[in-house]
Structure formats: C-alpha cells, structure tokens
Structure 1
Amino acid sequence: MVSFFICLIVLVVGYFTYGKFVENTFSPDDRETPAVAINDGVDYVVMPQWKLFLVQLLNIAGLGPIFGALTGAEWGPVVFLWITFGTIFAGGVHDYFSGMLSERNNGASIAEVTGTYLGNTMKNVMRVFSVILLVMVGTVFAVGPAGLVVVLFKNNGATGILTSAPFWLAIILIYYFIATFVSIDKIIGRIYPVFGICLIIMAVGVIIGTFAGGYHVPELWSHFTNMHPKHTPIWSFMFITVACGAISGFHSTQSPLMARCLKSEKQGRFVFYGAMVAEGVIALVWAAAGCAIFGGEGLVNAGGGNSTTVYEICSKTMGSVGIILAMLGVVACPITSGDTAFRSARLTLSDWLGLDQNKAKNRLILCVPLLGIGAILGFGNTFGFIDYSIIWRYFSWTNQTLAMIVLWAASMYLFMEKRNYWITVVPATFMSAVSATYFVMAPECLGLIPALKNNTLVAYPVGVIVALLFLCLFIMATKRRKNVTMQEKHA
C-alpha cells in the first residue's frame, strides 16, 4: 500500500516539476494557433482547456491502461516503477512534443511531422506505420468493448441479442463511422467530458474499494523480483505490455487532434503532459488492484487483462451498485479511443493524399474503406477467424516502435532549435532498446524461430546494440546538419 501511494505522489509531483521543465525546454509562445488561423469547423475548432484535457485523456486512455496494466501486474509490483517513471520521463515527454510539434506544423498528422524532421523516407514509413496501427487500434477498441458489454449483460441475467457480441460490435462500428465523419465538436466534444468524469470516478472507486475490501497491495521493496508464474522476462515483455500506461506511440496519432483545437500554445502542458500523467494514475490503480485481488498467478490463469478480470475487479471493489458505473467507464475508454483512432487514420490519409476534408465527399471516400477494414478484422475475430490476442500483441510492438520514432523526431527538432535534446534522446534510446529486444525474442516476431523464443542471451545484446546504433546515427545526423548550416553561412 505504501509503495502505491509513493508512486502516486511521484506522478503528481512529476507533472508540476519535470512537466514544467519539458514545457520550458519547448518554450511555448503567443503565436496564433492552427485552431484560430484555420478554423474549418470540422477538424480545426477552438475548444476550452478543460474540455481539451478530457477529450485528450479519453483519446489516449483506451484499453491500454486497464488491460495492459492488469497484464503487467503478472510481473508483480515492479510494474509500478515502469508506470511511474515511464510516464514522467518518457510518456509525458512523448505526448507533449507530439502535440506541440503538430501545433507548430499547422496541426499536421504525426507522419507528416516526423517527415519534417527525419526526412521523406521516414515520412512514408510513418504514413504506412500510422495507418496500420490506427486500424489495429480501432479494431481492438471495437472488439474489446463489445466483449465487455456482453459480459456485463450475461452476468446480470440478460439473454438474447443483448448477449450477442456481433450485435454490439455492429453498433460500435456504426458509431465509429459517424464520429469519424462529422465535425469533432458535434459528438466527441460533447460526450467525452461526461465519459471522462465516469472514467475518473471509476478509477477512484476501484482503488478505494481495493483498500476498503481488505485486499493487500504488495509492497515494491519486499517483492522486487520477477513474480511472473511462467518466468517471462521483465525486459522487455513488461515494457511492451504496459504501453498506454507508461508510453504509447498511439498517443502521438491522437495528439494532433487536440493540437488543431488549442487556443493557446500555453495550454499544451495541461492538455498533453497532464493527460498522460492522468493515464499513468489510471494504470497504477488497475495494476495495484490486479496485484491485490488476483496476484500474478491468478492473472495469468485468468488470461491477463480482459473483460472477465475487469468485471471481477469492479464487482469485488464496488459491489452491485458501483459496477454499472465502473463498467461504463471501462467500456467508454476503448470506444472513445477507437473512434478517434479511425478519425486519425482519416486525417493521416488526407494529409498523405492531399484530400480536402472540408468536403463531405472526400471524408466519405476515406471513412468507408477504413471502417470496412475494421469491420472485416472485428467480425473475423468475433466469428473465430482472427485471433484477437495476436492483433493485440502486434499492436503493442508497433505501438512502442512508433513512440521510439516520434521521440527521435522530437530530438532532431530540439537540436535544430538549439535546445536541450537529451530530454528526448534518452527515452528514444531506451525505447529503441525495448522495441529491438522484444522483436528478437517475442513469439509473434523473430521468436517464431524456436532458437530465439525468449532467448535473452541473444535478444538483450541485440537490443543494446540497436539502441546504440540509433544513437550514433542521430549524432551523425546532427553533425551533418551543423556542417550544412556552416556551409550556408559561408556561402
């Protein structure tokens, strides 16, 4: 219990201290924002700061900080450290710069922003990477809440169509289509604040119920070991599993949505860094509840973070009255990330193809195929043709690799602006090691080769070498830019 509260306090203090340091490094000013300069009434719309925060929180807080944190609790309370320090020094930094760099580039999607600082080749890589990731996120965040709703109705005695996953999946996909198509302030700007309040109340209810129910949250210092029953390595499996609760590349695809709605650059720290800290708190709550109520072995036996474990935790901590509100919050999380995932995919493609999104016809041209692919993947999973867990695992690795690329882009921006780029270089190098290590030994990646599966003797050195290689490439790129600048001055 004590270690949980220490981590909670560190997260809050981190927002006011390191978050301020990051803001000062970027140096927001009073220039006209894209929301004011462009204001097309569809994607560029000025919204109040409190609403921006809640919308950003729900954009990024999908199933990740809940399912991911519960699965991360399989390793024990050591997951608290990754959630806490990952949020402060990596996730918050990543979210802030992805939002503010988009704002400085007329609200451009993250693929276009990355290309500005890392070149056209990386721009094209990021375009493909982003669209694939966003479609996977949209699919995962359609199938997941459909399953949660089914569990909720079944456990409360309902039968018939209310317990049909295909029915709820169809309803969610129809909503996604509407939310992707219409102006951002028509649906998203109106209902998200309500869901945001539910999400916050739900997190508070779960942690209070955990302590009030007599459940013991294990202390970090007395359980500072790998407690995973299958001895799955902490590095880098836990760092990939707990993505949205620490650092997530998916967030960089969402931040431009709010970058197009800022009235002032000085709102950035509260909206971007603040929402990430809030998500870290949510992940910490669910990880603590998972450790206390299930334990590592119990979570592994239950399949990690999923609809069943979430329902059990809500039931045990909040009883029959609170469970409806809690499940509403959990269902709202993925739905309010899934719709903006498809919306971000539309905007990424529109930037890529140069399609003016003021015209309804152009939005329709992009919405139909995107939601069509999501429907194929979603119903494929529902009817047993596609394994949901495989989609989730590929999403997790793609997610963290995207975060790595965005941090390198932010590093180049800071170098070009003659500012302290080490605040992004360090987490970029770290995430490079995480992604490379996981790719080498994960069962769905090179771990398909029996000799490499969970082979830490090979994966660990490769991860370090790749991270150092990327660091060297970055340093070489900065030297080239310096030389070019000097030549231009003497020309």
Structure 2
Amino acid sequence: MNSLVLAVIGVAMMAAGYFLYSKFLSKRVYKLNAEFKTPSHEFHDGVDFVPTNKYVLWGHHFTSVAGAAPIIGPAVAVIWGWLPAFLWVVFGTVFLAGMHDLGSLWASARNKGQSIGTLSGRYIGARGRNLFLAVIFLLLLMVVAAFAVVISGLLVAQPGAVIPTWGALIVALGVGQAIYRFKMNLAVVSIVGVAALYGLILLGDSYPIELPDPMMGMNPQGFWIVLLFIYAAIASILPVWVLLQPRDYINGIQLFIGLGILYGSVMLATPTVVAPVWNDNVPADTPSIVPLLFVTIACGAISGAHGIIASGTTSKQLDRETDARFIGYFGAVGEGLLAVGAIIATTAGFQSLQEWEGVYESFSSGGVPVFVEGGGAIMNAGLGIPAGLSATILATMAVLFAATTMDTCMRLKRFVIQEIGQLAGVRLGTVVATLLATGLGLALTFSQGGDGSGGLLIWPLFGTTNQLMAALTLVILTIMLMRKGRPFLPVLIPGLFVLVMSTWAAIVQLGTFYANGEWLLLTIDIAIIIAAAWVLVESVVAMAQARKLPREPEDEEALTAEERLPSERR
C-alpha cells in the first residue's frame, strides 16, 4: 500500500466532514446563531472571559485538545494493523469527534460558559454532577502528570528540542502583547511569530542542550518535570491573552506547518506502508482489538478531554456562536490529520516489515519515539531534511502539543478544585486552588521515585476513562437536544457506541489488573465503572423525563450566581 493513498483518502474524508457534516450539525442540530450574546461578552473580565478572534481561538483549542495523545494512541494501535487504526481515526473524526467538540462548545456557550461537569448537574441532577466532577478531576490529573513525563522524556532524548520548547514562551508573550496591547495586524504577527519559532528550531538543532546529572539534586528528567509544573501553574493563573492563548495560537500555526511538511514529504517520497493491513502475528502481550482499539486511540477519533477543554476554557473566549463550527469541528479535524500522520509515520517510516516488527516487539513498544523516528525518515526521503533536524522538528511538535495541553488542563484542574470546594462549602481562591492542583500533580508524578515515573502510574486507565467521559458528555448533549426539541440521534447513536466500547474495555482491564496484581489500578477502575454506571442511570431517567417536560426556549436560560464556578462569578 502506498502511503500517499492513505494521506489523500484521510484528508479528503475529513474535508468532506467539515464542509458537509459540520454544516448540517450547525444548522439543524445545534442551530448556531451569530446574534447570540456569548459568555465572553456577557462576562468579559480580561482574565478567563475574553472575546477572541476565531483563528486565534482555533489555535488555542486545537493545540490544547491535541496534546501527545493523537500521536501515542495511533502509534500503539497500528500493532493490530494499519487498516483498523486508519478507519477508526477517519470515521471517528468525521462522525464523532467533530460533533462532540462542537456540541460541547455550543452547550457551554448556551449556559454562561459553564463546564460540562457543572452543566451535568442541571440535566441529570446533583448526584450525577458530583460523580461527573470526580471523573473529570481524575482525567485531568492523569493528563497533567503523564504529559509532564512525556515532555521531559523527549527533552532528554532530543536535546535539540530544548531551545525551541522554552523559547516558544518568549515568542508567545510577544505575540500576546502585539495582538492585544499594540493592536498589530494579525497576519504580520503570525508570520513573524512562526518565523521566530522555526528559527528557534534551527538554533536548537545546532545547539542541543543536555543537562548535567545530577541537576540541582535531581536527574535531568526530574528537573524538567518540576520546571514544567512551575510553568503550567504560572500559565494557569495569568490572563489567557498574556500567554496561554497566544502560545497556543502560534504553536497551532507552526504545528500545522509541521504537518504540512510531513504530508508534503509523503507526497514526494510516496513511501510504502510496510506494516500489515491486519496483523495476525501480534506479540503475545497484545490484547484483543475489540474493544481495546476504541480506547487505545482516543484523541484523534473522539476524546472526552476535548469536552472538558471546549467547555472549560474555549467557550469563555468564543466571540460569536457561529465561530464554534470552525473552532470545535475543524479543531477535531486538525487532530485527526495529526493522527493519520502518526499512522503513516509509524507504518511507512521503515524499510521493511522485518524492521517494523523489530520495533513492535510488544504492545507497549509504539509511541512518540517511533513517530519521531519514522516521520523523520520520511521527511529525510521526501524533502532531504537531515535526519537530526527532522527528529528535532517532530520532537518539538510533540513537545509543544503536549505542553499546550498540560497548561490548559492545569487551568481546568484549578476550576474543578474550586468547584469541588464550592460544593463542600469552602471558597478557594485562584492561588490556593492552583497550588493544590500543582501539588497533587507533583505528588503523583514523583510517587514512584525521582525520575517521575509515577506520572504514568495510573495512565493505563486514561483510555477507558477518557472515552467514558466522551460517552457521558454525548449523553448530556442528547438530553439538552431532547429538551429543546432538536434532532438528537446524530449525538445519541455515537454516544451509545462509545459507551459500550469504553465500558467493555474497562471490564476487560479489570481482569488484566487482577491477574497482574495491580490493586491500585483495579480499585480505581472499579470506582470509575461504578461512577459511569451511576451517571448513566441518572441520564436515562433524565431522558425519560425530557420527553414529558415543556421545550426549553431557544435563547439562553438564566442561571443564578450560585450555579456558576467561583472563577466565573463576577
């Protein structure tokens, strides 16, 4: 199979999804209204609620939701063969992820910018909301801790990525000031910012930075982890326009250019996919493809974390409701394209099937390093980019994706902690909540030693937890649509599919954890299954009631100050 065929089919189907299916969702299901007053205007505070140009906000949303997961998941899942991974990514992006992200953004914007967790209380009750918040908090904790480990590992393995990774912060600060304080032309700022980022990549490739061991009493990876948490904590407190938003925007452009380089290399080199279409010779430790494929690839097909981000930060910056189609659905398309690129890099970036099988010796063999290796080989063959520079470009892409997700999730975790405190009758300030979020993340990350390996301790639960979160979000959206008398089957049917597969996977994992004596993972998995089942029961009851209740008005419904997050109240 020529990898160019995969690239063309993937791009064509996702383009069709955006131009056709997202238009149907926007007009018939969510009924986006350009005249609707969004929360960014209603609660404009210059910190969290900031009306934002849709292209800038797309950059923030795209890079926040993408992270390293759409690279890691496909890079692991191709062990079953390239066809199952490719089909799930393409059809998942078009019919599930785009619909889910657009819907989450719409639902939050229609409800004062509330998070999907808070919103669940309105439609399924207080008990369901509390369990929803618990799942959200656990999911955010997993992402922040694990991505800190992934980023630090890449900075150690690819020292050429150090300068562009940290230099991007300076570029982002300059971009934020140029756009908001000096009102400079967005196109000019974008060109200069991207040029600066690629200049930093060239500089980093020429002057790689390797830390001494030990570094301030820690090994290099541990030092980078601490520095990353400090950065994420500061970024989560600053107004979004100062660092978070411009960083994500300029990274989004740079990362899309990086994808363009990868896809351009595929067009020129047309490498052959050496991995099998369907792998009948999987390593002994490989689990069954059904249902594990559908939780191994989460981001890149559908991801519950997207709903948290869309309703947690993106909705508070939405300028016009109609922008949600471009930001939400096209943001999912961008991630789908990254996932397809990861599939191509990890299946066509090798010279032979034997070489590929030598890398995929076990189920856990795939990941970001394989993406960097395979993608670098394709870029070298297609555009003649030196292997070292190719690796630096792809490693920087992966790091910047993961870092933007990490800082956004740290801000969201602060929101959730504040809300949990509110439910407990304790009002937590921004600084206190941020310190709690940072402290819990560091405690988990270093719980197994100074190398930060504890950050991956509960990561095996990410796939199932993330997909259960997506399914439950779609259930909430279904209830909202039913209450408004809107078409709901385009949301309900995918939601039921994801719910069945993620619950099935969680049950399968129970047996694995029990057999391996992994009691912590077993206990958490049981708790997640119980919480999801409880929320589902509450949701079924709410669906039954929705058919009997009067239709909700098309405009936003009033919410009391007590219903809002502490950070959302003025």
> Same fold judged by TM-score > 0.5?
yes
* SS of residue in 2 equivalent to 1:223: coil
Measure how far apart 1:297 and its partner are: 3.1
Distance 2:95 2:486 in 1: 17
Q: CA RMSD in A?
A: 3.0
Matched, 1:41 2:46: yes
Contact 1:138-1:342 within 8 A present in 2 as well: yes
Aligned residues between the structures? 465
Structure 1 counterpart of 2:188: none
User: CA 1:226 to 1:418, structure 2 compared with 1: closer, same or farther past 3 Å?
Assistant: farther
Distance 1:75 1:136 in 2: 25
Measure how far apart 1:332 and its partner are: 0.3
Query: Which one-letter code corresponds to 1:9 in the other structure?
Result: A
Mapping of residues 1-400 of structure 1, within 5 Å: 1=3, 2-24=5-27, 25-29=29-33, 30-77=35-82, 78-153=84-159, 158=210, 160=212, 164-210=220-266, 212-213=268-269, 215-217=271-273, 223-224=277-278, 228-230=282-284, 232-256=287-311, 257-293=313-349, 297-301=357-361, 303-318=364-379, 319-354=387-422, 362-380=429-447, 383=450, 386-400=453-467
Query: Which one-letter code corresponds to 2:413 in the other structure?
Result: A
Measure how far apart 1:218 and its partner are: 5.6
Distance 1:449 1:395 in 2: 18
Contact 1:100-1:268 within 8 A present in 2 as well: yes
Query: Which one-letter code corresponds to 2:31 in the other structure?
Result: S
Measure how far apart 1:99 and its partner are: 1.0
Measure how far apart 1:7 and its partner are: 2.3
Answer with 361-370 or 317-326: which moved more: 317-326
Distance 2:368 2:498 in 1: 29
Distance 2:157 2:265 in 1: 21
Contact 1:207-1:289 within 8 A present in 2 as well: no
Contact 2:232-2:410 within 8 A present in 1 as well: yes
Overall identity of the aligned pairs, in %: 26
Structure 1 counterpart of 2:563: none
Q: Which digits, 9 at most, give the CA deviation of each residue in 1:385-422, with x for residues without a partner?
A: 85555422112211111101000000101111111110
Contact 1:414-1:420 within 8 A present in 2 as well: yes
Distance 1:468 1:118 in 2: 13
* SS of residue in 1 equivalent to 2:412: helix
Query: Which one-letter code corresponds to 2:390 in the other structure?
Result: G
Distance 1:278 1:68 in 2: 16
Structure 2 counterpart of 1:441: 508
Gaps of 5+ in 1: 454-466, 487-491
Distance 1:122 1:245 in 2: 28
Distance 1:41 1:102 in 2: 19
What TM-score comes out, normalization by structure 2 length? 0.75
Contact 1:114-1:409 within 8 A present in 2 as well: yes
* SS of residue in 1 equivalent to 2:78: helix
Distance 2:25 2:282 in 1: 35
User: CA 1:470 to 1:424, structure 2 compared with 1: closer, same or farther past 3 Å?
Assistant: farther
User: CA 1:414 to 1:320, structure 2 compared with 1: closer, same or farther past 3 Å?
Assistant: same
Distance 2:535 2:494 in 1: 12
Q: Which digits, 9 at most, give the CA deviation of each residue in 1:147-206, with x for residues without a partner?
A: 001000299684625881112112111110111111111101222222112211222223
Measure how far apart 1:479 and its partner are: 3.5
Contact 2:472-2:536 within 8 A present in 1 as well: no
Measure how far apart 1:210 and its partner are: 4.6
Query: Which one-letter code corresponds to 2:489 in the other structure?
Result: W
Query: Which one-letter code corresponds to 1:69 in the other structure?
Result: P
Distance 2:122 2:333 in 1: 28
Measure how far apart 1:106 and its partner are: 0.6
Q: Which digits, 9 at most, give the CA deviation of each residue in 1:253-284, with x for residues without a partner?
A: 10021100111100000001110011001101
Answer with 15-24 or 155-164: which moved more: 155-164
Contact 1:35-1:46 within 8 A present in 2 as well: yes
Distance 1:19 1:224 in 2: 31
Distance 1:61 1:8 in 2: 17
Query: Which one-letter code corresponds to 1:17 in the other structure?
Result: L
* SS of residue in 1 equivalent to 2:458: helix
